[in-house]
Structure formats: structure tokens, C-alpha cells
Structure 1
Amino acid sequence: MSTVSGTGNSYLDNLRGTETTNSSTKKTALEQSDYFALLTQQLAYQDPTKPVDNDQMVSQMTTFSMADGISQLNTNFKSFADGMSSNQVLQASTLVGRTVRVNSDSLVFDGTNAAYGAVEVPAGTSSMKVNIYDESGALVRSSSVDNPTAGKFDFGWDGKDTNDTKLEAGLYTMKVEATVSGKNQTLATSSYVPVSSITLGSSTSTMQLNLLGLGAKKMSDILEIAAG
């Protein structure tokens, strides 16, 4: 006698499993329709001699509407924040390999290509001197500029010292001294540095750009994105 497999029982068992799963699914929060259904039941079973006060009922409805609105607002804001976060990650990822400018007194020399910095020249500046120091603090190069134009002034260093000798790759320090309206002062500098990678943020930290030689910087620290 042939043996018939029990596919019918398995199908019924699957149906029962689906029914069990569906019946066990419960809402974790009251929705607006649930609230008004409860309110209708309350009105239907209220004591006719002591009806619910209209002001109290309106107050309950207003409170629930406000709570429901705030909950919806929180949901929408979270979606908006998630979208903004994804957009920031996408924007930051396009910066990998690009050169950005940040406030710093450091010049990153890779041993081959020139390192670039910038300074904001105040109005009334008659002269300016750009000094480059190595990691030991020794002066390796100095360059003077007469009557620089006010505004952002970009400058480059080819990695050579005063003897025209190419120096090793590394982190160098720049210091810009200027004579402004007859007085000597040190100007704040910024540096052009490549973006090597990005570190994604979390619930407790913000996304950061990892700059070659300068470490991690926030997106808000970026002053300029160089062309190219």
C-alpha cells in the first residue's frame, strides 16, 4: 500500500500558527480612534443624573490631541534627523581625498608636494613675515611680504630650508608676524590639509573628518574646500 504524506495536516498546522501569531500581535499604545471609542463608551454608561462635565470632556479631548500631536511631531522630527544624518554622511564621504582648510598653525609636508597655509591680513598691514619651524622648534625658512593686500592671503612652502635643501616629510609649524598700523602682531593662520577618511557619528558623538597629520576635525571646523 502506498504511503500518503501528511501535507494536509501541515497546511492546517501552518494556518493555526498564522492564527496564533496574528492573535498574539497587540498594539503597544492607544491610538486616537481607541481614545474616542473609550470616550463614547464612557458617555453611554454614565449616570444620567451626573453627566460628564462638558469642560472636563473638552479638556480630556484637548489633552489627548496635544499628546498625539507631540508624539507625531517627535516621530516626524526623528525621521527628519535621520535624513539629515544620512545626508551629512553622504556629503562627508565626497570629501575623502579632497583638500580642506582649517584653523591651525601646522603645515603638513609629505616630502614631495608643497604645503599650503593661509592668513587673514588686516587692513593697514605694511609688512608680513612667514616663518616655518621644524618639530624641534628650529627656524628652517622665512619669507617676507611687503604691503600685502587686506583679506585672505594664501602662501605655499616647497619643503626646502634657507639653504635650498629639501627637508623630510613631517609636521612643521608656521608663524606669521605682521606690522599693522605701525604695531607688531602675530596673525592667526589656517592650513590646507587632505581628508584621509571620515569617522561616523553615534548617539554620543558627532561625525568627524580625519585630516592627514592633524587628526580628527568636526564638519563645522572646515573653513574652505579647495577646488579640484
Structure 2
Amino acid sequence: MAAVQATTSSSDPFAAISAATKRSSKGSAPTAEDPQDRFLKLLVTQLKNQDPLNPMDNAQMTSQLAQMSTVSGIEKLNTTLNSLVDSVGSSQSMQAAEMIGNRVLVSGSQLSLTKGAAYGGINLTAAADQVKLSILDAAGQVIQTQELGARDAGVFNFVWDGMNDAGSQMADGIYRFSVDAKQGGNKVAADPLQIGTVSALVRSKNGFLLDLGALGTVDFKNVQQIL
């Protein structure tokens, strides 16, 4: 009896599909159905040309069909995820656009003194019986200190009237502040928060940045509060 010549894909037609898909990806992109069509054609060819003395067993065929089903499912999942990402991006664009003109509270220690007033915020990780606020000039020198008293844990805002410790009015511009919080003599973690007005949106590779004018740009996801 003449020997039956097996095809090169007799052991794993799925491997042939994978190689063909990689080659075709360098040219025109195949459709989602192409891998399935090629798989079925190769499988039929394999069944026709298999060695009758050593046919493919059911377990092997089931395994290869399961692989094809997995690839198809992954392609559909990728399509769904891409659609979801686009939807989330559009939603974020609309939310960010609605923030133009609003004041926001974000991480940072800058104060923008304008017309004798500067606004900031503090986030205490725990309650404190003493909270001391220090205002610093561009050189890092303390120009005013304020005792804010006892505060509960969480976020609260403050306003600086632009006066230094000597009672002189400071010029409009950018200043900084630091916070020293304690409870029973023990230090309490306090995060400085700066307040700015959103003047524009800046697109970046990771989403949108909010332009806060003199305070610079901040990531949309870092907004703590909209005031």
C-alpha cells in the first residue's frame, strides 16, 4: 500500500495560521474572520490527508478547535475594549471641557495672590489640635504665619489676605505655603492643596491636563475638589 504524505500542518494547523497571520500583518490587515476561515481549510485538508494508520484523535481536534475559539473570543474582546476606551475618552473630554472657568482644588503648595487675596487648602490625615500655616516668598523666606487652631481630619480651605507679619501688603504674584499639624504633640500628616481657575485644556498622551494659568498644568485625575 502506498504511503500517505502528510501535510506540514498535520501536527498543529493552528501554528500555521499564527505564522500566516504574522506575515499578513506586515501587509494589509486581515479581517476578524480570516483566521477562522484559514483554520477550517487547514483542518479539512489535514483530515483528508491524515495517515489512516495514525489519524488525529478526538482530543487533539477538540484542543485545536478550542484554540480557534479562544482566538476569536480574544478578537471580540479587543474590539469591545477599544470601543470602551473610546467611549471613556469621549466622556472625559466632555467632563474636562465643562470645568473651564471653574476653580479646582489640586495637590500643590502654590498660592496665587490676586487683589489682596490668595486661597489654598489643607488635607489632614487625622484630627489635629494645632495647625500652623506658614506663607513663603519666592526666596523661601517665611513672611507670615497663622495659627489655624484645632481641625478635624479631612480637607478644609483657607484664605490669605496678602499681609506679611509686619503688617505690609505683599505684591500680587505666586507664593508658597507649608503646614505643620500636631495632635497631642505628635506630628499629623498634612498635604497642601492649591486652588486655581481652569483656563484651558491641554491634551497629553495620558489624557487631559488642566491649565491653571500661573499655577501651571495639572492632570485631570488629580483634581481633589471642584469649588
TM-score w.r.t. the length of structure 1 is 0.71
2:127, 2:151 within 8 Å by CA — same for their partners in 1? Answer: no
Between stretches 87-96 and 53-62, larger displacement belongs to 53-62
Question: What CA distance in whole angstroms lies between the structure 1 residues aligned with 2:171 and 2:123?
Answer: 28
Q: What is aligned with 1:197?
A: 200
| Equivalent in 137, 141, 147 of residue 144 of structure 1 | 147
Q: 1:100 aligns with which of 67, 80, 104?
A: 104
For 1:78-108, what per-residue CA distance to the aligned partner results, in whole angstroms no more than 9, with x for missing partners? 1111111121122111112211111212111
Mapping of residues 122-161 of structure 1, within 5 Å = 122-125=126-129, 127-161=130-164
In structure 2, the residue corresponding to 1:200 is in which secondary structure?
strand
Which residue, out of 66, 70, 79, partners 1:66?
Answer: 70
Relative to structure 1, the CA distance from residue 107 to residue 75 in structure 2 (aligned partners, 3 Å threshold; closer, same or farther) is same
**Candidates 8, 11, 30, aligned match of 1:28:** 30
Cα–Cα, structure 1 residues 46 and 185, in superposed 2: closer, same or farther, change >3 Å?
A: closer
Give the deviation of 1:144 after TM superposition: 2.2
User: Hey, what does 2:219 align to over in structure 1?
Assistant: 218
Indicate if the aligned counterparts of 2:134 and 2:142 stay in contact, CA closer than 8 A: yes
Q: Taking every aligned residue pair, what percent have the same amino acid on both sides?
A: 29
CA distance 1:99–1:66, change in 2 (3 Å): same
Deviation at 1:177, TM superposition (A): 2.8
TM (normalized to structure 2)? Answer: 0.71
Name the count of aligned residue pairs. Answer: 196
1:56 and 2:64 aligned: no
Matched AA of 1:102:
V
Q: Could you say which structure has the larger radius of gyration?
A: 1
Residue ranges of structure 2 left out of the alignment (5+ in a row) = 1-27
Give me the whole-angstrom Cα distance separating, in 2, the residues matched to 1:38 and 1:178.
72
Match of residue 80, structure 2, among 76, 79, 84: 76
2:95 corresponds to 1:91 = yes
Distance 1:180 1:132 in 2: 22
Matched to 1:155, the amino acid is: F
Structure 2 CA distance for aligned equivalents of residues 52 and 147 of structure 1 = 79
Aligned match of 2:179: 176
Query: By how many angstroms is 1:40 displaced?
Result: 4.3
Alpha-carbon distance in 2 for matches of 1:150, 1:69:
48
1:112 and 2:140 correspond: no
